[in-house]
Amino acid sequence: MAKQASFEVSEIPTDYAENPSGGFWSNLHQRVVLDHHDKDRQSNKDLDPVPAEGRTWSGLDYVTYWISDNFSPSGWRKASSLMAIGMSWRTALVNVAISEVIIGVVVTINGYVGAKYRIPFSIQARASFGYYFAYLMILMRCIVGIFWYGISTYTGAECVRSMIYAIWPSFHNVKNQLPESANIDTQFMISYFIYYITVLPLHLVPISKIRWLFTIKAVTTPIIGFGMMGWTIKNAGVGNNSLWTQGNTVHGSALSWAFMQGLYSNIGGWATLAINSPDFTRYSKKVSNTYWMAIALPFTATLICFFGVVGAGGSKVLYGEILWDPLLFVDRWTSKGGRAAAFFCALGFYLAQAAANVSANSISAANDLNCMFPRYINIRRGQILVSLLGGWALTPWNIMTSAASFLSFMSGYTIWLAPICGILISDFYFVHKRRYDVWELYNPHGIYRYNKYGTNWRSFVAFFIGWVPLLPGFLPKVNAKISMIQPMINFYYCGYFYGLLAPMLSYYLLCLVVPAKETMIEHAVYCDDLLIARDVEEIASEGVDSDSYGDQEKKTL
């Protein structure tokens, strides 16, 4: 069974601190290891179930969390991609609303596991995939998080650049000192470095306390959004812009498949959070607090998308071109008062992007690294590592300017993420009937090992059923030279629905026909069960009435 204990980097044995021995690498190893007391322990404080004192998130915190994720420049731009493939602004808003309702339900359903058992996705995955096969799923999710961290850092740098433009207009004239092959100029590199350095301290804030950041953003960004929309309507109106009168430019079956493509794209944008929502729901004060996500996610996403539509329509009247990027919009405010407004708007988007990047990418990927290297990486170390890999090693400025095929590949990564989510949901709700033994999930030789390879073959088969049929439609999106019949491409646009539901059903049927009986427990075992039993045992050994203590402890949990 896993041990519930706290280990810090500073806990280096006294004999080592006083009498260091060995070479440089040996000494370095001693200093970076998290747990010197149990070399066989494959967990740490951040990976263990969240104890009672760490459960600090209320229902309001989950509402502000989704405001934090949605009120960002990328959320503002969402309608533009839909209108680019033939939808009117009204159809685009309906598409966003439907897709966000669907993913909001999925996020909430899977997040229930974290709220109930106080475990992250990386531990939850072991029940479905097996102790070792789960690591492949964790690695796949980690790669996505690191990638999007870099892309979001690029967007955050755009916010900083707009802030600098507003304060010092002469920044426009800064001479570029970098070669053209760098795919980034001096202006943007300065902005990028400032963003990275100023956001880095947020990675050091414990997850149980970072909810204050979402609260600040939940207050500031809606004010900015409504303010920009009100200013645009006052100065430009909505009646003279062709954007508002333009209908769908595609019709019939073409419109239907364009609509499906939009659903796939919008749902896919949240595919990673649908998997790792337990990383945050595990900190809830009570399970019901997480239900607010099903409402907050679609409402805020649709609202910020509407702001983008109004801004784009107004920019056509005011500036003669449609500006889907809110940062390009505020960069046009060049008067003294306009620059002040532009600065505060850019500052709000800066906070929005920083909060979204920390919550959606760095913490999630850090949890994955924490699980893969529990003796050396906790969530704090993991976030720093993610920031270095995603922010610098990945060189996101190269990807954004010259790697369209790689962007398409990462956007299509949903074909692998959807099956993971479907199997997780099927395993918890239908196969194991919401009954897990949380401590067996931490045992490499426990019931969730499944076989000597640590692989649940049922999930292995279901996973391939989920993504292989979608591959033909995915390939032309990555390489334009590959041609594919239209029905396969259309099937790819249904990818999230197929990728989620087909593995969900196939995994359930496989477990029904050939069940893993050793994992079918009669009663769920929660983390508090063992904590109470262990505390009672310790008190009893000291001569205190264990029954009375247990009754008191149960009331507090």
* Model pLDDT, residue 218: 84
Question: The pTM is what?
Answer: 0.88
Residue of 162, 206, 473 whose CA lies nearest to 327:
162
CA dist 176 → 42, 173, 179, 183, 207 (Å): 49, 9, 8, 11, 39
Q: What is the C-alpha to C-alpha distance for residues 328 and 334, in angstroms, rounded to an integer?
A: 12
pLDDT (tens place) for every residue of the chain, 557 residues total:
444 433 333 333 444 444 455 677 777 777 888 875 666 678 999 999 999 999 999 999 999 989 878 888 888 988 888 988 899 999 999 999 999 999 999 999 999 999 999 999 999 999 999 999 999 999 999 999 999 999 999 999 999 999 999 999 999 999 999 999 999 999 999 999 999 999 999 999 988 788 888 888 888 888 999 999 999 989 887 666 677 777 888 999 999 999 999 999 899 889 989 999 999 999 999 999 999 999 999 999 999 999 999 998 888 888 988 888 999 999 999 998 999 999 999 999 999 899 889 988 999 999 999 999 999 999 999 999 999 999 999 999 998 876 666 667 777 889 999 999 999 999 999 999 999 999 999 999 999 999 999 999 999 999 999 999 999 999 998 887 899 999 999 999 998 999 999 999 999 999 999 999 999 999 999 988 765 555 545 555 555 444 443 443 333 33
- HEC sequence for 137-164: HHHHHHHHHHHHHHHHHHHHHHHHHHHH
User: How much is the pLDDT for 39?
Assistant: 65
pLDDT, position 533:
53
114, burial (CB in 10 Å: exposed 0-12, middle 13-18, buried 19+): buried
Report which residue type is found at 423.
Answer: I
Bridge partner list, 284: 57
Q: How far apart are CA 309 and CA 326, in angstroms?
A: 11
Taken as a whole, the chain contains a residue count of 557
Name the residue with tokens 């929309």.
229
d(CA 165, CA 161): 6
CA 479 to chain centre: 27
Alpha-carbon gap, residue 529 to 276, rounded angstroms: 24
Residue 284, SS3 per DSSP: strand
Separation between Cα atoms, residue 148 and residue 361, nearest integer Å: 7
